[in-house]
């Protein structure tokens, strides 16, 4: 099952809780059936990609500010249309500590409508070989969308080709 | 403006949203004429609350929402009709009874299982831009089915809408066609909830019919104008929602409201000119 991370910090006691995503009406079962099952497309949690900055290859999917949540949702709902493509977007760098595994996960997200106001987060987990930025830094990331498997679950993430910290911040809160 | 439209159509999820939205708007507008004339305007609201309850339960149980909610909402539509036909509980009370009960049960079920989350909130206000391919296929198939059945049984639906008593007197099985109308409405409501949300879907049913009735008098022209109005309002609404980053469902309703006001004004002017 494809599991995304959305934090409902306003609605639940724990500040970090993994619930199923996408936030909007999913068909989990059909989504599960449509996920690629070949071993070549499912990567185990492995060493991150090269830290060298490389030009994006293949189709470029640029997630803009106008339809940030809609584009993000579409990638989660229809991952087969985006796997292997290069995704580029800007957002806030966040880390999450997963209590069950004791691991730290890194994401680039923006705040969006959740259950109570803007307590939802939309974005992707990222995988990067270089130095991580500071928490809450505004970053532009470019990477290839991939699925990896961990503890029997499959997750989407971006294997980054570049991560750039920007001084000028974009819209941290998005509604569409 | 054309640049913006081309830019919109470069997003596959927007293209899917437009296709599904146009079909659902068309279905809702056609059925809405009969429902408004039969004074069943709020049935859309009632069934959408039932649909919300069903979708909430399906989400909590992690099963495909549409395949669970469609039969439940169809059953609710039948129940509504049966209740209304009884002498004890009439139309509006029956709608209120079923809709509030379903909503309450759905909220309770959600609160003791997964808790209120973004999925459930999206069912309330719509999320047409987030549809899987399977949902799009199902929506297209069901919308086309609704349209075909409406066209096939147009004359019978017209008869039971205009004068149900006379229809029964001449041997028309009005009960069956009322049930057909309820079933088609239920399917349209469930499909429309994805894009408009449970709170706003009834607007798609009511507004186009009321808008066309400001200007048109014959049933056929009302139906045609209602369909055209619904399609145009949806396209304008989704364009404006993209341009101004507004919620799609609410934008479509706002455009429908503007169209109603415009046509009301035009109707008043037309009526004034005719009196002279």
| Pick from B187, B201, B192: nearest CA to B150 | B187
Mean pLDDT of chain B: 85
Architecture of domain B2-269: Orthogonal Bundle (1.10)
Mean pLDDT of B106-118: 73
CB atoms closer than 10 angstroms to residue A21: 24
The confidence score (pLDDT) of residue B86 equals 65
Give A-chain residues touching B131 at CB under 8 angstroms: 25, 77
pLDDT of amino acid A15: 33
Q: Looking at residue A59, what is its pLDDT?
A: 80
Sequential DSSP letters for B5-35: HHHHHTSHHHHHHHHHHHHHHHHHHHHHHHH
The mean pLDDT of A145-171, rounded to a whole number, is 92
Lowest-pLDDT range, A10-24, B42-56, B160-174?
Answer: A10-24
Terminal-residue alpha carbon distance, chain B: 41
Q: Where are the domains of chain B?
A: 2-269
CB atoms within 10 A of CB B184: 25
The secondary structure of chain A in percent helix, strand, coil, rounded to multiples of 5, reads 10, 35, 50
- At residue A159, the 3 state secondary structure works out as strand
Closest to B77 in 3D by CA, of B58, B103, B99 = B99
Percentages helix, strand, coil for chain B (3-state, rounded to 5) are 85, 0, 15
Decide if A176 and B114 are in contact by the 8 Å CB cutoff: no
Q: What is the pLDDT of residues B47-80, one digit of tens each?
A: 888 988 888 888 777 777 777 888 889 888 888 7
The span from the CA of B205 to the CA of B36, in Å, is 8
Give the pLDDT confidence of B113-160 residue by residue, as tens digits: 766 665 666 777 777 777 788 888 888 998 999 999 999 998 888 888
**Mutation for testing the B interface, residue in A25, A75, A112, A119 having most B CBs under 10 Å:** A25
Please answer whether residues B158 and B219 qualify as being in contact, where contact means their C-beta atoms are separated by less than 8 angstroms: yes
> Which of A8, A13, A22, A27 would best serve as a mutation to test chain B binding (most B beta carbons within 10 A)?
A27
Contact flag B242-A81 (C-beta cutoff 8 Å)? no
Query: Which token pair is A93?
Result: 């760098």
Considering the entire predicted model, what is its pTM? 0.77
- Residue B66: which of B104, B20, B12, B107 has the closest Cα? B20
The H-or-E segment that residue A31 falls in is helix A28-34
Beta pairing class for A153-165 and A120-127: parallel
| pLDDT tens-digit series, residues B204-257 | 999 999 999 999 988 889 999 999 999 999 999 999 988 888 888 889 999 999
Q: Tell me, yes or no, if A1 comes closer than 8 A to chain B by beta carbon.
A: no
Supply B258's token pair: 């503007």
| Dist. CA B276–CA B30, nearest whole Å | 34
CA–CA separation, B27 and B80 (whole Å): 20
pLDDT value for B227:
94
| B176 pLDDT above the threshold of 80 | yes
At A96, phi and psi to the nearest 5? -130, 135
| Averaged pLDDT for residues A103-119 | 81
pLDDT bracket for residue B276 (50, 70, 90): low
β A86-98/A103-112 pair status = antiparallel
Q: ipTM above 0.95?
A: no
């Amino acid at each position: 099952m494809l599991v995304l991370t959305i934090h409902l910090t306003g609605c639940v006691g724990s500040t970090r809780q993994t619930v199923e995503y996408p936030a909007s009406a999913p068909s989990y079962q059909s989504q599960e059936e449509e996920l690629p099952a070949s071993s070549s497309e499912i990567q185990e949690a492995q060493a991150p990609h090269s830290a060298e900055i490389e030009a994006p290859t293949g189709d470029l999917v640029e997630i803009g500010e106008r339809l940030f949540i809609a584009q993000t949702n579409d990638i989660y709902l229809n991952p087969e249309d985006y796997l292997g493509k290069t995704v580029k977007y800007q957002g806030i760098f966040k880390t999450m500590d997963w209590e069950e595994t004791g691991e730290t996960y890194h994401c680039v997200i923006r705040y969006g409508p959740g259950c109570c106001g803007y307590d939802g987060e939309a974005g992707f987990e990222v995988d990067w070989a270089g130095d991580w930025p500071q928490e809450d830094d505004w970053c532009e990331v470019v990477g290839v969308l991939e699925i990896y498997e961990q503890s029997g679950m499959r997750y989407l993430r971006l294997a980054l080709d570049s991560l750039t910290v920007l001084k000028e911040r974009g819209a941290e809160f998005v509604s569409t | 403006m054309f640049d913006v439209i081309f830019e919109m159509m470069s997003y596959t999820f927007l293209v899917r949203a437009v296709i599904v939205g146009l079909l659902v708007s068309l279905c809702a507008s056609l059925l809405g004429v009969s429902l408004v004339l039969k004074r069943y305007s709020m049935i859309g609201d009632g069934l959408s609350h039932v649909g919300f309850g069903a979708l909430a339960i399906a989400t909590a149980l992690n099963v495909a929402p549409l395949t669970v909610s469609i039969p439940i909402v169809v059953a609710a539509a039948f129940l509504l009709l049966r209740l209304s036909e009884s002498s004890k509980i009439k139309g509006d009370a029956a709608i209120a009874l079923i809709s509030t009960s379903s909503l309450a049960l759905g909220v309770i079920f959600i609160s003791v299982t997964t808790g209120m989350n973004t999925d459930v909130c999206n069912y309330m206000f719509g999320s047409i831009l987030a549809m899987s391919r399977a949902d799009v296929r199902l929506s297209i198939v069901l919308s086309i089915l609704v349209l075909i059945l409406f066209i096939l049984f147009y004359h019978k639906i017209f008869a039971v809408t205009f004068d149900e008593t006379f229809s029964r007197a001449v041997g028309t099985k009005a009960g069956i066609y009322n049930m057909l109308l309820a079933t088609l409405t239920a399917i349209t409501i469930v499909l429309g909830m994805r894009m408009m949300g449970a709170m706003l879907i009834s607007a798609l049913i009511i507004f186009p019919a009321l808008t066309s009735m400001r200007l048109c008098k014959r049933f056929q022209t009302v139906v045609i104008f209602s369909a055209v109005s619904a399609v145009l309002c949806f396209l304008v609404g989704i364009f404006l929602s993209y341009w101004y980053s507004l919620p799609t469902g609410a934008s479509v309703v706002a455009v429908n409201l503007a169209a109603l006001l415009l046509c009301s004004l035009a109707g008043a002017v037309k009526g004034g000119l005719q009196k002279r």
